[in-house]
Structure 1
Amino acid sequence: MERLREHLGVGRWLLYGRSWGSTLMLAYTEAHPARVSGMVIVAVTMTRRSEIDWLYRGVGRFFPKQWQRFRECVPAPERDGDLLAAYARLMSDPDTAVRAKAAHDWTAWDDAVISLKVNGKPNAYSDRPPAALLAFARICAHYFSNAAWLEEGVLLRDAHKLAGIPGVLIHDRFDLGAPLENSWQLAQVWPNARLVVVDDSGHTGSTTMAKAISTALDGFAS
């Protein structure tokens, strides 16, 4: 990154990202606020343990059958413990069949979480080539089982470091996986952030969401 900055002669960056990418954006900007000119963040996710617990346990109250299957796809002794750590181990197994099944089971749960979306795409997570599917699920399990190695709540706690940096937070009202509360909480402590709520979609977005993103980015361009 530093070599790229030197090559381009650019001192500050406009950052854009969504979902778990917002964790990376916030961590980077809070550590290096002078290097960022603005941010457009979609579906804010700060990788707090409370968020992870909601996504892989709490939201199961809406999908009890699918969550039971997600739970029962790990070995019985681990079902009442850390499910994400169990999946992470399965996706690192020497047996390719074990890894492939774990990745399929993981993304089947992800698909269930977004299945209530009116404008959603069926099987949005699992509809990937096998290698890409395993890579996606393995990265998610690895980072989420370790809460991204972040102190609990640190990104929200240190959001005061974003003062002076303009931001647009765009969030779907019907996002079950990353609830709107995430963006709302961040907007309360980031004085230069504007919250845009999209009322017709969930975590994977919609045409309305795409237009809101385009408008936000155009605003920075002008």
Structure 2
Amino acid sequence: MAAFNIDAARRGLYPEVEPFAYGWMPTGSVHEVYYEECGAPGGKPAVVLHGGPGGAVNPGMRRFFDPTSWRTVLFDQRGCGKSRPHAVLEDNTTWTLIEDIERLRERCGIEKWTVFGGSWGSTLALAYAITHPDRVEALILRGIFLLTKRELAWFYQDGASMLFPDAWERFLAPIPEAERGDLMAAYFKRLTHRDPVVQTEAAIAWSSWEGDTISVRGPEARPDKFAQPDFATAFARLECWYFVNGGFLPEDGWILKNIDKIRHIPAWIVQGRFDVVTPMESAWSLKKAWPEARLDVIPDAGHASTEPGIVDALVRATDTALKL
């Protein structure tokens, strides 16, 4: 494990960059997936997997990569961001997303690429690598989420609530006392309600809970997007859909049970010490199962990818991965 020296000069993001290509990729189902390519058309290929599910990409995600050396492909996963249709659960599983990653790789004419993902993006990156190890040159992961029952119970039932009781009260507010024994099920009932007003109320409460806990600075640092109905609806519906279904994984703990399939792949793990959304236990378990991977623990960071120590470690990782 590598601990970060907070007194050392920290790297920042690369300058803003616009896509040199973008479009919508058919999937053979109701979904069309928005994607964009940034940086150098002939550069080293990488794909960015955003969080959530349902989080969508944003321009800041382009800036973890040197635009003169990387060819960075970003896409909005099914049902969110600029992908169409919006917030639709049909044909939306971990496995259809993995099919989309492969479809996009082939569309871009890429043989192998570095896979970069944080939070749910780390889950999807690991699942993709396990199923397609020959297509992954390296993995750069942040805020490890193994999508286990233990992690879900911590954040959505009992655990993180003890650290953020003020935000937790707001999360509980839409759910009657009688239904609070299974909060994910109670939320799913409302997020799929036929009344859009009920859906929106639940979506904003669900989304805001994550926004309130994403940073070590607490609820006052919540990004505005978490309370915006359009973002919150896709984010909450898709997250809850995936989580009540265990991520559609074959069994609890499936990722760690299959980690030997990818231990030969170079990997960087970046984890905030005070990450409440995806606590460090998961990153630690992944490192123990995968001793060859590099683990950077950032001592003054939570979950947000924008925290200075997280930015520094991720930019250093992409710079190092260029040399592979």
Normalising by structure 1, we get a TM-score of 0.90
Query: Hey, what's the Cα distance between the residues in 2 that align with 1:120 and 1:195?
Result: 28
Aligned to 1:64: 165
Greater CA drift, 33-42 or 189-198 = 189-198
Query: Hey, what's the Cα distance between the residues in 2 that align with 1:97 and 1:155?
Result: 37
Q: Which runs of 5+ in 2 are unaligned?
A: 1-100
Q: Which runs of 5+ in 1 are unaligned?
A: none
CA 1:137 to 1:195, structure 2 compared with 1: closer, same or farther past 3 Å?
A: same
Aligned to 2:303: 203
Q: Is the 8 A contact 1:114 1:177 kept in 2?
A: yes
Kindly indicate which of the two structures has a greater share of residues assigned to helix: 1
The offset of 1:9, in angstroms, is 4.1
CA 1:79 to 1:121, structure 2 compared with 1: closer, same or farther past 3 Å?
A: closer
Aligned to 2:240: 141
The offset of 1:76, in angstroms, is 3.8
Q: Is the 8 A contact 1:38 1:167 kept in 2?
A: yes
Aligned to 2:318: 217
CA 1:59 to 1:2, structure 2 compared with 1: closer, same or farther past 3 Å?
A: closer
Q: Is the 8 A contact 2:119 2:145 kept in 1?
A: yes
Per-residue CA distance 1:51-95 (angstroms, 9 max, x = gap): 000111221122334434423422343222x21121112011111
Aligned to 1:185: 285
Secondary structure in structure 1 of the residue aligned to 2:269? strand
Secondary structure in structure 1 of the residue aligned to 2:294? strand
The offset of 1:180, in angstroms, is 1.2
Normalising by structure 2, we get a TM-score of 0.63
Matches within 5 A, 1:36-47: 36-47=136-147
Query: Hey, what's the Cα distance between the residues in 1 that align with 2:225 and 2:110?
Result: 38
The offset of 1:158, in angstroms, is 1.0
1:83 to 180, 183, 200: 183
Letter in 1 for 2:316: T
Query: Hey, what's the Cα distance between the residues in 1 that align with 2:104 and 2:202?
Result: 38
Kindly indicate which of the two structures has a greater share of residues assigned to strand: 2
TM-align CA RMSD: 2.1
Query: Hey, what's the Cα distance between the residues in 2 that align with 1:218 and 1:119?
Result: 31
Per-residue CA distance 1:100-156 (angstroms, 9 max, x = gap): 1101211232233236x1498622265453211111111111111222022100101
Letter in 1 for 2:223: A
Q: Is the 8 A contact 1:163 1:192 kept in 2?
A: yes
CA 1:69 to 1:207, structure 2 compared with 1: closer, same or farther past 3 Å?
A: closer
CA 1:148 to 1:74, structure 2 compared with 1: closer, same or farther past 3 Å?
A: same
CA 1:125 to 1:89, structure 2 compared with 1: closer, same or farther past 3 Å?
A: farther
Query: Hey, what's the Cα distance between the residues in 2 that align with 1:105 and 1:7?
Result: 38
Q: Is the 8 A contact 2:275 2:301 kept in 1?
A: yes
Aligned to 1:132: 231
Q: Is the 8 A contact 2:171 2:205 kept in 1?
A: yes
Q: Is the 8 A contact 1:119 1:200 kept in 2?
A: no
Aligned to 1:176: 276
Query: Hey, what's the Cα distance between the residues in 2 that align with 1:149 and 1:37?
Result: 25
Aligned residues: 220
Matched-pair identity in %: 36
